[in-house]
Structure 1
């Protein structure tokens, strides 16, 4: 098992998520919530289905995630201006402010990961290899 790619990927994911949860423990934030906020901060007005697809989340599960973010006042649904049947997602002012608070924590978390990998060159190599698995 030690040399099995799938096993190593899963162990790495668990370790990274554990470290993320420790870094963000005081903020009561899950990795998925952070990913949604970060994606929406740069892409206001995306359809729910687009965000779910971009993050690899099943639509049925994504609704609950958005419900939670909406209850916290961080995200809001609006009818799309292009298609009134579609819900578009936007970060609220509170969501944008919250994300600004989170970014330094995320940056420190990323820096710790990069250091454990051996530097940015190794990070870039790992990302390149992981992308090859997704293509």
Structure 2
């Protein structure tokens, strides 16, 4: 049997069952959403993970590094490097825990709070607004529900 003739390089790739796999579709969507987020956050130079850390610290001041990293699913070595970067930009500060000297608690600085306020505005008026415009409020709510269900079960 002769091998199949190669497709011309200009032809679109055939995706086969890949286009029907939820995990693949989620990853592709995540990449597009993150690209848009990074464009929106370019003036502030914040990644989605950094923004998430700042949001958690705003609502949970004085929590320790392990709690924040575990909540966000960030590995310890990656989290420490991220904290180093945020601390060097004076967005947060690490202090020894008053109850456990082996642990550090995290607090937003005044600059961190101001940066977070600007980031929230950019996210809500640009990034999230584009997603809601694309999906519509009902599909947005449905998608959030479906993603929460997946996150809770896996």
TM-score interval (norm. to shorter): over 0.9
1:81 aligned residue:
98
| Alpha-carbon shift at residue 3 of structure 1 (Å) | 1.4
Paired residue total: 134
User: What is the TM-score with the length of structure 2 in the denominator?
Assistant: 0.84
CA distance in 2, matches of 1:28, 1:86: 28
1:113 aligned residue:
131
Return the structure number with greater helix share: 1
1:34 aligned residue:
51
User: What is the TM-score with the length of structure 1 in the denominator?
Assistant: 0.95
Residue among 61, 68, 91 paired with 1:51: 68
Runs of 4+ more than 2 Å apart: none
Aligned residues: CA RMSD: 1.0
